[in-house]
């Protein structure tokens, strides 16, 4: 693979997957070529020290030159035929010029050092790419399925929809599925980054790579091996790697403009040599300037950092879709969070019931359950779970954004939010419920309110600690919700969020995000479906709990695969650190060029010295970029602390 340090010189195809995913350092062809060239150069140097004849030293130097030049000259010539120039072009011209001057040792040294840098770059990129593709290794090599009444062992690729997997304790799931029989606790830490096992039973969705904990399972296959959750994650991220952020576009732009400029400057230096009558001296200096101004380190500085950082994030259950999303995340200063399913568990429960007249708690719950019997709304599930019986309500109609109405023994009954139904004598009770952070649902019969039900979606236990951590890191936080102002304010206060926007429809959330964006870079955190307009409007859209959710993975810039809100400050810290590393690399690369060019132009450094300094600096840039593949101590997850309890609704 040639010109790895400069993307416009690097062949886009033709490299085998085996080489691209080389496991060992010595499996990289450029490294092997550089090693062979180095041995030949060492032999030539020892021969010259021993005052050996030139006919013995020169062939060794030429052999070292040819072996090292093989790593970049052929591909450079192929690119030149297509009218494309890059860093390899500069190195090829410099090596050819040194040969023309009879400096075979310098030409061989230049090619040798450049081959080393090529090999290190390819190894570092392949190593970090493997960090992402290692997710696929979580799938076991074989799976046990029931075919007829017989248990057989097959390769995961042979699984078809509807197959019944047999998964025993300690075994990994070979693909996505739905539990038919059995109960267990699943270890999904490799997928979501969450260390707490997930309880699962009949009907639960399970994902490839999860480890079965305590009990045997029978699982119906719902996805093929090529299209399961793990494969989708890897394919999406690899496809999105081409999305470049501002830093990478800047580096690419500078490198693409710098190479032609360097060639022109070298030509002018050579012409100046003829004018002053010292063509050989200034031709040699022109060659040194070519190498000194090479933007190799600049071109590789951001890509290696991005690949390392994205791979590290995938290991903690965070899906980052390309360098553009990563760089933008590093600039975020405002975090807008949806309430339901993000700050809360999205598992509301009935916490109180208020009644009027002779109506009882049981009657109110039964009537509400009769109206909500066919509803899929989260509040409906809470009411149905709390109701001992269901009234036989008929002719139920849904009024979007308001509530439900139907008939019970010929009487018109309604269920809905305050405003659509007048709370009347229950106004004080409803206000108390809302101040306690609960949503109030009113029940009406024949035009008179007879009861109110308080339903509350509790905050996640880690919510307050996460918000405090974000605030301490300098982020502004805001909560966006469709709840009424009183309920939203109570929940926001419990979570530690001071800026609360309530009574919002999806389009309203997008407008609030647009206003926040006008102040400073803003991220929106939501479920990836109902919050789609706001996610799309934000500088960065972050979908939470996206494991197995096609819409979230496809539409969000960042996806938190698990349900632990701690991953939010974790990935923000990671992105900030990555962006700092990018800026360090770009700054160091530009400084290197600015210092080396005048030193080369005035003859203070020779060809071999410039090459050595340049390539050593490039190694520093690569090593610094690879640091983004390690999570800093600040990003280590802490155990979730319980959020402060909300006041009782009554």
Known catalytic residue: 539?
A: no
Per-residue tokens: 631: 């999570």
Phi, psi (degrees; rounded to nearest 5) at 125: -65, -45
The rounded distance, in Å, linking the Cα atoms of 481 and 525 is: 12
Quick: pLDDT tens for 450-472: 999 999 888 898 999 999 999 99
Run of H or E including 451:
strand 448-456
Per-residue tokens: 36: 């062979």
Q: How confident is the model at residue 10 (pLDDT cuts 50, 70, 90)?
A: very low
The rounded distance, in Å, linking the Cα atoms of 143 and 153 is: 6
User: Is residue 24 pLDDT above 60, yes or no?
Assistant: yes
Phi, psi (degrees; rounded to nearest 5) at 374: -105, 5
The rounded distance, in Å, linking the Cα atoms of 454 and 48 is: 91
Q: How confident is the model at residue 94 (pLDDT cuts 50, 70, 90)?
A: confident
Per-residue tokens: 637: 């997850």
**Contact by Cβ (8 Å): 329, 523:** yes
Helix (H, G, I), strand (E, B) or coil at 78: helix
Lowest mean pLDDT among 73-82, 92-101, 117-126, 224-233: 117-126
Per-residue tokens: 181: 């029989």
Q: Residue 203, Cβ neighbours under 10 Å: how many?
A: 8
Q: What is the arithmetic mean of pLDDT over 548-568?
A: 75
Lowest mean pLDDT among 93-97, 128-132, 253-257, 619-623: 128-132
- pTM for the full predicted model: 0.70
User: Is residue 643 pLDDT above 90, yes or no?
Assistant: no
Look at residue 641 in the predicted model and tell me its pLDDT. Answer: 45
The rounded distance, in Å, linking the Cα atoms of 598 and 333 is: 41
Query: What's the whole-number average pLDDT of the chain?
Result: 81
Of residues 1, 154, 19, 8, the one with CA closest to residue 84: 8
Lowest mean pLDDT among 220-229, 266-275, 312-321: 312-321
The one catalytic residue in 163, 176, 338, 352 is 338
Helix (H, G, I), strand (E, B) or coil at 445: strand
Lowest mean pLDDT among 73-87, 322-336, 573-587, 625-639: 625-639
Per-residue tokens: 387: 């109701």
Run of H or E including 150:
strand 150-154
Look at residue 136 in the predicted model and tell me its pLDDT. Answer: 65
Q: Residue 591, Cβ neighbours under 10 Å: how many?
A: 11
Per-residue tokens: 485: 């102002």
User: Is residue 172 pLDDT above 80, yes or no?
Assistant: yes
Helices (H) and strands (E) in the chain, counts: 22, 22
Give the percent of the chain with pLDDT over 90.
29
Look at residue 518 in the predicted model and tell me its pLDDT. Answer: 94
**What are residue 398's DSSP bridge partners?**
404
Look at residue 634 in the predicted model and tell me its pLDDT. Answer: 54
Look at residue 251 in the predicted model and tell me its pLDDT. Answer: 58
Q: Determine the Cα angle at 546 with ends 375 and 351, to 5°.
A: 45
**Contact by Cβ (8 Å): 338, 542:** no
Per-residue tokens: 266: 């070298």
Look at residue 19 in the predicted model and tell me its pLDDT. Answer: 40
């Amino acid at each position: 693979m040639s010109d790895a340090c400069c993307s416009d010189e690097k062949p886009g195809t033709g490299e085998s997957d085996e080489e691209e995913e080389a496991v060992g350092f010595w499996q990289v062809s450029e490294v092997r070529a550089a090693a062979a060239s180095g041995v030949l150069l060492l032999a030539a140097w020892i021969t010259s020290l021993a005052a050996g004849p030139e006919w013995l030293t020169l062939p060794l130097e030429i052999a070292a030159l040819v072996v090292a030049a093989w790593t970049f000259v052929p591909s450079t010539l192929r690119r030149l035929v297509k009218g494309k120039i890059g860093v390899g072009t500069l190195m090829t011209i410099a090596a050819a010029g040194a040969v023309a001057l009879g400096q075979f040792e310098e030409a061989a040294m230049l090619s040798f050092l450049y081959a080393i840098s090529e090999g290190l770059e390819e190894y570092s990129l392949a190593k970090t790419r493997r960090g992402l593709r290692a997710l696929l290794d979580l799938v076991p090599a074989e799976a046990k399925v029931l075919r007829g009444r017989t248990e057989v062992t097959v390769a995961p690729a042979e699984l078809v929809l509807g197959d019944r997997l047999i998964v025993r304790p300690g075994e990994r799931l070979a693909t996505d599925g739905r539990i038919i029989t059995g109960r267990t606790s699943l270890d999904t830490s490799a997928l979501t980054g969450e260390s707490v096992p997930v309880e699962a039973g009949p009907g639960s969705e399970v994902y490839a790579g999860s480890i079965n904990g305590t009990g045997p399972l029978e699982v119906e296959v719902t996805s093929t091996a090529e299209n399961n959750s793990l494969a989708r994650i890897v394919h999406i991220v690899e496809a999105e790697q081409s999305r470049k952020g501002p830093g990478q576009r800047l580096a690419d732009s500078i490198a693409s403009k710098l190479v032609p400029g360097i060639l022109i400057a070298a030509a002018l230096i050579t012409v100046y040599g003829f004018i002053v009558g010292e063509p050989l001296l200034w031709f040699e200096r022109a060659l040194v300037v070519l190498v000194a101004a090479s933007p190799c380190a600049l071109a590789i500085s951001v890509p290696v950092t991005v690949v390392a950082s994205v791979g590290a994030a995938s290991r903690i259950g965070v899906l980052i879709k390309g360098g553009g999303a990563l760089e933008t995340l590093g600039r975020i200063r405002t975090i807008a969070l949806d309430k339901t399913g993000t700050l809360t568990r999205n598992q509301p429960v009935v916490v109180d019931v208020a009644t009027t007249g002779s109506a009882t708690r049981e009657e109110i719950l039964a009537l509400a359950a009769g109206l909500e019997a066919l509803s899929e709304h989260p509040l409906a599930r809470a009411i149905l779970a709390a109701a001992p019986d269901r009234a036989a309500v008929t002719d139920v109609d849904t009024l979007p954004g308001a509530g439900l109405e139907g008939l019970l023994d010929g009487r018109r009954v309604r269920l809905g939010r305050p405003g659509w139904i007048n709370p009347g004598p229950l106004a004080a009770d409803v206000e108390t419920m809302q101040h306690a952070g609960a949503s109030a649902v009113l029940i009406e019969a024949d035009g008179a309110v007879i009861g109110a039900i308080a339903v509350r979606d509790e905050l996640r236990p880690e919510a307050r600690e996460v918000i405090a951590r974000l605030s301490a890191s300098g982020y502004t936080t805001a909560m966006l919700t469709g709840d009424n102002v009183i309920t939203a304010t109570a929940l926001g206060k419990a979570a530690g969020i001071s800026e609360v926007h309530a009574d919002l429809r999806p389009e309203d959330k997008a407008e609030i995000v647009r206003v926040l964006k006008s102040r400073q870079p803003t991220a929106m955190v939501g479920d990836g479906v109902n919050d789609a307009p706001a996610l799309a409007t934000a500088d960065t859209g972050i979908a939470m709990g996206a494991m197995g959710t096609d819409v979230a993975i496809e539409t969000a810039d960042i996806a938190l695969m698990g349900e632990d809100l701690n991953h939010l400050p974790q990935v923000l810290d990671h992105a900030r650190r990555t962006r700092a590393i990018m800026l360090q690399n770009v700054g160091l690369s530009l400084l290197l060029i600015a210092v080396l060019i005048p030193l080369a132009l005035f003859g203070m450094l020779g060809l071999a010295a410039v090459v050595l300094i340049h390539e050593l600096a490039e190694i520093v840039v690569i090593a610094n970029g690879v640091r983004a593949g390690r999570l800093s101590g600040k990003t280590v997850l802490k155990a979730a602390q319980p959020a402060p309890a909300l006041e009782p609704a009554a």
